[in-house]
A = this chain, B = another copy of it.
Amino acid sequence: MNEKIILGHGSGGRMTRDLVRDVFCRHLGDFGPQSMDDGAVLPCEKGELVFTTDSYVVSPLEFPGGDIGTLAVCGTVNDLAVMGARPLWLSLGVILEAGLEIDALERIVKSIAAKAREAGVKIVCGDTKVVEKGKGDGIFINTAGIGVLEHPLTPETIEPGDQIIVSGTVGDHGMALLTLRKGFPLKSDLKSDCAPLNGMISQCLDEAGVKWMRDATRGGVATILNELSEGRPWGVLLEENDIPLSDAVAGVSELLGLDPLYSANEGKVIFVVPRHQAENALKGLKKSAYGKKAAVIGLIVDDFPGKTVLHTQMGTLRTLGILASDPLPRIC
Contacts and interface: CB of A to CB of B under 8 A. Distances in A.
Identical chains bound together, number: 2
A153 to B, nearest CB: 9
A248 interface: no
A215 B38 contact: yes
Contacts of A214: 38
Interface in A28-59: 36-57, 59
A120 interface: no
B140 A95 contact: yes
Given A44-B47, A126-B53, A11 B146 contact: no
A80 interface: yes
A234 interface: no
A290 interface: no
B140 A329 contact: no
A332 to B, nearest CB: 8
Given A16-B218, A53-B127, A43 B38 contact: no
Given A12-B326, A137-B135, A326-B13, A50 B39 contact: yes
A46 B45 contact: yes
A276 interface: no
Interface of A: 7-8, 10-17, 36-57, 59, 79-80, 82-83, 85, 89, 91-95, 124-127, 129-132, 134-137, 140, 142, 144-147, 149, 152, 214-215, 217-219, 223, 227, 264, 322-326, 329-330, 332
Q: Which 9 A-B residue pairs are closest in the complex by CB-CB distance? A: A12-B218, A13-B323, A11-B326, A8-B325, A144-B144, A39-B52, A53-B91, A142-B142, A12-B219
30 contacts: A8-B325, A10-B218, A12-B218, A13-B324, A13-B326, A16-B218, A38-B82, A38-B83, A38-B214, A39-B85, A41-B152, A43-B48, A44-B45, A44-B48, A45-B46, A51-B89, A53-B92, A53-B126, A54-B127, A55-B95, A57-B95, A57-B129, A93-B142, A127-B142, A131-B140, A131-B329, A134-B134, A136-B136, A136-B137, A142-B144
Given A10-B218, A43-B48, A53-B125, 11 more contacts: A10-B330, A13-B325, A38-B79, A38-B215, A41-B152, A42-B51, A44-B45, A53-B92, A55-B95, A59-B135, A129-B332
